[in-house]
Structure 1
Amino acid sequence: MKTIHFINKKSIVLLLATVFFLSCSSDDSSSTGTNSISSVTSVVGSGTWKITYYFDTDKEETSNFSGYNFTFGSNGVLTATNGTLTQTGTWSVTDSNSNDDDSISDLDFNIAFASPATFLELTDDWEIIERTSTVIKLKDVSGGNGGTDYLTFTKN
């Protein structure tokens, strides 16, 4: 009887270990899941967006972008236009972490403008903290002064 009892415990442990290892997946957050690079780029690549909130370290500066509509082109070109002026930059979404846990916070939303100074402030690799089909909220902790910036795009 003791031998059978020992085998059952050993079998259970082996079965649990097998289930554990098989449940670990290698899904790449850059290609699958609801928070993948392709799902984020698909959402922002559709339609035009406006900045509804921009907080730069110690003060809100949303009004600097009032009247601008942003278009995230499929070729990585970011265009901001207010009907009179057009600013052109680049954008991309990259995987900043190799945890493969499909977490939205593992994705970086990269924005780059060369000028003017107001748009240059948006240049950074932003952490995506929330995304829906109509809102994308971003956060950046500055390496230089340790300040935290927040940027929210809302679909028009």
Structure 2
Amino acid sequence: MKNIFNLGFIVMLSLTLLSSMCSSDDDDGTPTNSQQIAAIEDDMQSGTWTITNFVDSGQNETSDFNGYGFTFNANGSLVATNGTNTITGTWSVADDDSSDDDSSSSDIDFNIFFPVPETSDFEDLNDDWDVVTATSTRIELIDISGGNGDTDLLTFEKN
């Protein structure tokens, strides 16, 4: 009888210890991708942005976009205008579902698409960029080419 009591006590004690070690709140304070995506979308939809850095395969081509303001609309449209020319495209932010990305980049894609000819400077922006850093006034993006391994960098800053 004493052995049954001891066994029961040990089982109860084990269950109590196990339940105190488990927590239903596994939140470590780090935002999830969906929270980060929502924050990036909200920030980008606020105000007009300019390209402050664009390096395409080692070539600094930032000046190709001098004078252009970029507006990221809630409906997914992206409008670039310099007062004379207006170019409309699309944008989105999504979970990165590709396994071919550089491990130093995030799991969030920033997608840009302008339906322009290949000869247009704006065609160089068309990509599923990886988010490096994002704040309410600046977003840094990177793309590492799967073909030749060239690195492209793109930075937008809020006006």
| 1:74 aligned residue | 74
Q: How many residues align?
A: 142
The percent identity for this pair of structures is: 46
- What is the CA RMSD across the aligned residues, in angstroms? 2.5
The match for 1:15 among 6, 12, 20 is 20
SS of the equivalent of 1:121 reads helix
Partner of 2:147: 144
The question of 1:29 aligning with 2:30 is answered: no
Higher Cα Rg, which structure: 2
Aligned partner of residue 64 in structure 1, secondary structure: helix
Once structures 1 and 2 are overlaid, which stretch shifts more, 108-117 or 62-71?
A: 108-117
2:94 aligns with 94
**Structure 1: 5+ residue runs without aligned partners?**
98-103
CA distance in 2, matches of 1:69, 1:107: 24
CA distance in 1: counterparts of 2:32 and 2:155, whole angstroms = 26
**Structure 1 residue 6 displacement after superposition:** 4.3
Q: CA deviation at 1:88?
A: 1.2
Determine the C-alpha separation between the residues in 2 that align with 1:137 and 1:68. Answer: 18
Taking the aligned partners of 2:14 and 2:44, their CA distance within structure 1 comes to 53
Cα deviation, 1:64-117, whole Å, max 9, x if unaligned, reads 1111100111111111111111111111111125xxxxxx92221100012252
Report the TM-score when normalising by structure 2: 0.78
Give TM-score, length-normalised by structure 1: 0.79
Unaligned runs of 5+ in 2: 98-104
Check 1:108–1:86 CA distance in 2 against 1; reply closer, same or farther (3 A cut): same
Task: Letter of the 1:29 partner, please give it.
Answer: N
One-letter amino acid of the counterpart of residue 12, structure 1: L
Note the C-alpha offset of 1:11: 3.5
How far, CA to CA, are the matches of 1:70 and 1:64 in structure 2? 14
